[in-house]
Amino acid sequence: MIAGFDNEEKEAKSFLLQEYIPYKYDLRCLVIGDRTFTMRRIPKKGDFRANFSLGGSVELFDLDDKGKDLAKRALKAVGLEIGGVDILIDENDKLYIIEVNHTAGFVGMEKATGENIAKIYLDFAISRAS
């Protein structure tokens, strides 16, 4: 069975195509208000996808101010103050925003940063609720 097909006798309902970008770094930048946390996502052997939830590994990444600003602007563009921004950096250090996630997971980020992301997230949310 091919992704996007209900079964082999039906036509595809929809497809999502994404150009492959040869990259040096695959990053997840988590933005919580004015704070940013960044991890490098490393795919498991034999897979191009680097998601922690798919078995990839993570490590802390020191994203420069230009990259942090880009992530914050991407989040602002979709009306969010909290979210994950997936960024690729190519061999020429060009940054590409791949995706903005409103429900970014924190397990990988906590592992990479050593920070209690859940607490930081909740503290921010509570401060906005009052």
Q: What is the CATH number of the domain that holds 50?
A: 3.30.470.20
Tell me if 9 is assigned to some domain: no
Tell me if 109 is assigned to some domain: yes
Q: Two tokens at 100?
A: 């903005």
Non-local (6+) Cβ contacts of 56 within 8 A are 41, 42, 43, 44, 47, 49, 50
Dump pLDDT digits (tens) for 11-65: 778 887 878 888 999 999 999 999 999 999 998 887 766 676 667 789 999 999 9
Tell me if 18 is assigned to some domain: no
CA–CA distance, 119 with 97 (Å, rounded to integer)? 27
Q: Two tokens at 60?
A: 């802390």
pTM over 0.85: no
Query: Looking at the chain, which runs of residues are DSSP E strands?
Result: 25-32, 35-42, 57-60, 82-89, 95-101
Tell me if 35 is assigned to some domain: yes
pLDDT at position 2 is 47
Q: How many domains does the chain divide into?
A: 1
pLDDT at position 21 is 86
CA–CA distance, 36 with 28 (Å, rounded to integer)? 10
Tell me if 6 is assigned to some domain: no
Rounded mean pLDDT of 77-97? Answer: 96
**Which residue reads 């970014």 in tokens?**
104
Dump pLDDT digits (tens) for 89-120: 999 999 999 999 998 888 889 999 999 999 99
Q: Which residues pair with 55 in a beta bridge?
A: none
Domain around 52:
25-129
pLDDT at position 60 is 96
Say if residue 6's pLDDT is above 90: no
CA–CA distance, 130 with 126 (Å, rounded to integer)? 7
